[in-house]
Amino acid sequence: MKKVVTYMDAENLHYFEKAPIAKAVAHFAIPMMLGTSMSVIYAILNAYFLGSLDNTSMLTALALTLPLFAVIMALGNLIGIGSGTFISRLLGEKKYDDVKHVSSFAFFGSLLLGLILMAVSLPFINSIVHGLGATPDSFGFTKDYVTIMLIGSPFVVLFFTLENIVRSEGAAITSMIGMILSVVVNIILDALVIFVFHWGIIGVASATVIANLAASIFYALHMGYKSQFLSISLKWFKVSKDILSNVFKIGVPVFIMSIFLGAMSLILNHFLIEYGDQATAAFGISSRLLQFPEFILMGLCEGVVPLIAFSFTANKLRMKQTIGFTIKVIVALAAVFGVIVYLISDHLIGLFTNDPQLIEMGSYILHVTFLSLFITGITALFTGIFQATAQGTAALVMSVIQGITLIPVLYIANRISGFHGVVWSLVIADAVAFLVGAIMLYVLRNKLQPDLEQLAQ
């Protein structure tokens, strides 16, 4: 494919190398923050559209298949984040041919990973549906959704991979456009398949796959025709020990973290069920509300990863300044969100229910969990720093520490303080992850320090 080199590539490098830190962070982070916010809005609308059919079994099927979607997304991030951080470091070293090799590997590797998932899973479709917890009423709907998702999994894995790859070269706005394209196509198709064609759950699953395919094509066209650095050409495809080690030492911890987060959610629900439907419902509502600021902070931390990775190989002083500025933004955002929650938490919970006891319980959960919003943001930044600087062991520790901590803390806190212990256990697990991350960052400080000549500039 012939590349059309525009000023875009030079502009991306400008943000990597020379733009003021605040402007560079905004360039990389704001599109990611907007993109992740759109995904939260889509999740709400998706449930709303399906809920309009007044079929509880369909809504149950949609909820039950979330772990499967999480696994598919985790496979995309396995290749995408691993390859993306490597690409940003290679750009910092100006190894442009290597960037083409890695991006081509990521493109074909993610397609292959999706095909393997489909081939391995489809013969065991009934066992998978049972494993997701489908009841006799929801079994058929769940099976339909899972079947469509597995058939389309190569495109869904590809979407999550390419979103990271495009962002890794500095094309943050292009990455955001692809994310928003996926959401918009999904919403339009959801409305059509539910209200016009009456395809129900099969239509919703198909809409998700088609939306991810549309965004993947958008990213592939960018990589093939517009990007000077990236490639989807087979002639650049290469599998080497260097590529595999650099991709998987960061990608595997990301994959493990995604699986752990799913497992933690299941374990937490198991403890909450002991305290009745109201406790589970209150936690579900507060979690949805907490998801918005969490995704904003996650978008910020994920957005600056390419900038940190590039600066790690090109200019460690700039990397240090980027991290310092990002911490200040996290503190400011967490403070703003915290004040809002403490002032109007009852009204926020009241948007979802009129039950006074549920509002009181949900408001309490919001107050407690928002205490760790700052900690969650900084912990996400620690993880991003370890990914960006190729600290595979540290990234692996961060991916499992919260899950490993939460399980015993949940058990002990539940025995000591009941429902209150279950709620506070999340804050405790977040605090432990924060402390472990801070200690590892301190231990690795010499590797991350600017060189003497950079300080002299």
Q: Which residues contact 219 (CB under 8 A, 6 or more apart)?
A: 159, 162, 163, 165, 166, 174, 178
| Helix pair 21-51, 200-221: axis angle to 10 deg | 160
Q: In this structure, which long-range contacts are made by residues 16-19, counting pairs with CB atoms below 8 Å and at least 24 apart in sequence?
A: 16/91, 16/92, 16/170, 16/306, 16/307, 16/310, 16/311, 16/314, 17/310, 17/314, 17/315, 17/318
CA distance 94 to 88: 10
pLDDT value of position 135: 81
For the beta carbon of residue 310, count every other beta carbon within 10 angstroms.
Answer: 32
The amino acid at 93: E
Nearest alpha carbon to residue 121 among 162, 75, 61, 77: 75
pLDDT value of position 5: 45
CA distance 232 to 399: 30
pLDDT value of position 455: 45
For the beta carbon of residue 396, count every other beta carbon within 10 angstroms.
Answer: 18
Which parts of the chain sit beneath pLDDT 50?
A: 1-5, 452-453, 455-457
Residue pair 425/409 in contact (Cβ under 8 Å)? The answer is: yes
pLDDT value of position 9: 67
Q: pLDDT tens-digit profile of 399-413? A: 888 778 888 999 999
CA distance 402 to 191: 38
pTM summary value: 0.87
Residue pair 102/87 in contact (Cβ under 8 Å)? The answer is: yes
- Alpha-helical runs (H) found in 304-315: 305-314
pLDDT value of position 263: 75
Nearest alpha carbon to residue 204 among 37, 72, 69: 69
Structure tokens belonging to residue 159: 């979407």
Phi, psi of 93 (to 5 degrees): -90, 0
Nearest alpha carbon to residue 431 among 367, 371, 344, 343: 371
